[in-house]
Amino acid sequence: MPKNVITLCYRKIIDTTSINHWDKFVHEDSFTEFRMQSQLYNTEQKYQTFAELLLNAEGAEKLHFLVSAAITGYLRQLNGIIPDILDQLGRRFLTFEHFKFEIINSDINDISKHKVAINFFSKPLVWHNTINNMLLVSQYTAIAAEETFTNLFQIQPFVSIHSIKNID
Amino acid sequence: MIGAISAPVIIEACKNNSVADSNTSGTAGTNTSTNGTCSIAPTETEGPFPTKVPTSYVRSDITDGKTGYKLTAKITIGNLNNSCAGLAGAIVDIWHCDAEGNYSEYGGTSLQSTNYQSVHFLRGRQTTDANGLVTFTSIFPGWYSGRATHIHVHVYNAAGTSLKVTQIAFPEGAGTGVALVNGYSKGMNGYTYNNADNIFSDDKTGLEIAAVNGSLTPGFDLTFKLNVSA
């Protein structure tokens, strides 16, 4: 039977409605960094919003990257575990090394407009089966074991299959 | 969560057994029900607990494993409104390219992802001391097509308001760092010198050129005074 190895992407949205400490730190610190770094592209202080900067200021798309330094310290605090996404047993089970930070919207004068996303890309998983609306997966290892421990989980909003590779 | 809530209840229950006339345990909670929402509740030990951390730019050694000849950059920020005396508490960002001429960066909306451990190599932030000085440990920058060797600098006041965005140029000619490093593995074929550089070519008096001393081993020291209106 062909075996599919997948990676998942969880796009975690953080805005002013986020309530837990980690999310709040990410929200506040990315806003502070946005205000600082955006000045590179806003020397005449003509623009207020990220959308205006993207539209009018050359190179402003680099702000996604430049602002991401404000949050990499918080990523380290996760110890390689993707937050929020649980298996059927209620445990976080996805691990990551790769991410992509995005500014969705922001306004240098209004933190309530500041909305960002962290895309977490999971380490490879073997997709064994689909049971009802759930996927049965296990951590991918180069050497297949006789018995593999698995996780059963449901695809939920803001979680998607990011890549797929067929290995026979 | 379940563990945290049930523990006090058990303690109160024990008290009730030993103190006969008490018939109230605990205090009225304020949590409202979220029961019935279609999601799995987390069932794990809480933590690790997040703590506030500065942006990962804040470090003196910005090398991040990039190889090259060592460069120690000492930048002093002076205040034009105070006879160019050292400006304390200013925030100084620097960034420059690696030995091959590449910056740490990505942009746009592609699905390119990055490992979070070393994504901001050769970028750093320091706050000036009482003398207006910041020090960074890095590597001698490489070069890329169309530009002379340079380091980018962005100076902010303590509140994060931009005071100056500029670039530092390097001295050229026999015996200089630029000549000794010799473009790393690229060599100097196609190199743009300061007088042909579109940023530095108007700097006829060398105001933008740092003092750079040293040798390949143990490395180079760069000193630069940058005056801003603060």
Distance CA B35, CA B30 (A): 15
Looking at residue B25, its pLDDT comes to: 64
What phi and psi, each to the nearest 5 degrees, are found at residue A53?
A: -60, -45
The domain that holds B184 is classified in CATH as 2.60.130.10
Looking at residue B43, its pLDDT comes to: 78
Which chain A residue has the Cα nearest residue B160? A36
Partner residue opposite B40 with nearest CB, options A90, A100, A162: A90
Which DSSP helix (H) or strand (E) runs through B129?
none
The answer to whether residue B170 scores a pLDDT higher than 80 is yes
**Least confident piece of the model among B10-19, B126-135, B174-183:** B10-19
Buried b (16+ CB within 10 A) or exposed e, B95-128: bbbbbebebbbbeeeeeebbebeebbbbbbbbeb
Place of tokens 């699905």: B111
Q: Does B105 touch chain A (CB under 8 A)?
A: yes
Counted residue by residue, chain B has a size of 230
Task: Residue B131: give the domain boundaries.
Answer: 70-228
The mean pLDDT of chain A is: 94
The answer to whether residue B3 scores a pLDDT higher than 60 is no
Provide the pLDDT confidence category of residue B33 given band limits of 50, 70 and 90. low
Provide the pLDDT confidence category of residue B36 given band limits of 50, 70 and 90. low
Mutate to test the interface with A, among B113, B152, B153 (most CBs of A within 10 A): B113
Looking at residue B104, its pLDDT comes to: 86
Distance CA B5, CA B43 (A): 13
Contact between chains at B56 and A72 (C-beta distance less than 8 A): yes
- Domain assignment of residue B19, yes or no: no
Which chain B residue has the Cα nearest residue A26? B52
Distance CA A52, CA A55 (A): 5
Provide the pLDDT confidence category of residue B108 given band limits of 50, 70 and 90. very low
Number of domains in chain B: 1
What phi and psi, each to the nearest 5 degrees, are found at residue A119?
A: -90, 115
- pLDDT tens for each residue of A32-56: 999 999 999 999 999 999 999 999 9
Q: Kindly provide the ipTM of the predicted complex, given to two decimals.
A: 0.90
- pLDDT tens for each residue of B180-198: 999 999 999 999 999 999 9
The secondary structure of B76-111 as a DSSP string is EEEEGGGTTEE-TT-EEEEE---TTS--S---TTS-
Partner residue opposite A73 with nearest CB, options B54, B123, B154: B54
For residue B218, whether the previous peptide bond is cis, meaning omega lies within 30 degrees of 0, is yes
User: What is the average per-residue pLDDT within A13-36?
Assistant: 96
Looking at residue B40, its pLDDT comes to: 73
- Domain assignment of residue B23, yes or no: no
3-state DSSP assignment of residue B196? helix
Partner residue opposite A25 with nearest CB, options B40, B52, B120: B52
Mutate to test the interface with B, among A65, A101, A122, A151 (most CBs of B within 10 A): A65
- Domain assignment of residue B118, yes or no: yes
B window 4-63, beta carbon within 8 A of A: 39-44, 48-57
Q: Does B3 touch chain A (CB under 8 A)?
A: no
| Helical H segments across chain B, by residue range | 2-18, 177-181
Partner residue opposite A90 with nearest CB, options B43, B48, B117: B43
CB atoms within 10 A of CB B46: 9
pTM: 0.85
Q: Does A73 touch chain B (CB under 8 A)?
A: yes
Looking at residue A48, its pLDDT comes to: 97
What does DSSP say about strands B133-139 and B162-169: parallel, antiparallel, or unpaired?
Answer: unpaired
User: What is the average per-residue pLDDT within A20-39?
Assistant: 97
Q: Are A114 and A121 in contact (CB under 8 A)?
A: no
Distance CA B203, CA A100 (A): 39
Looking at residue B47, its pLDDT comes to: 66
Looking at residue B119, its pLDDT comes to: 81
Distance CA B176, CA B214 (A): 8
The answer to whether residue A168 scores a pLDDT higher than 60 is yes
Looking at residue B17, its pLDDT comes to: 41
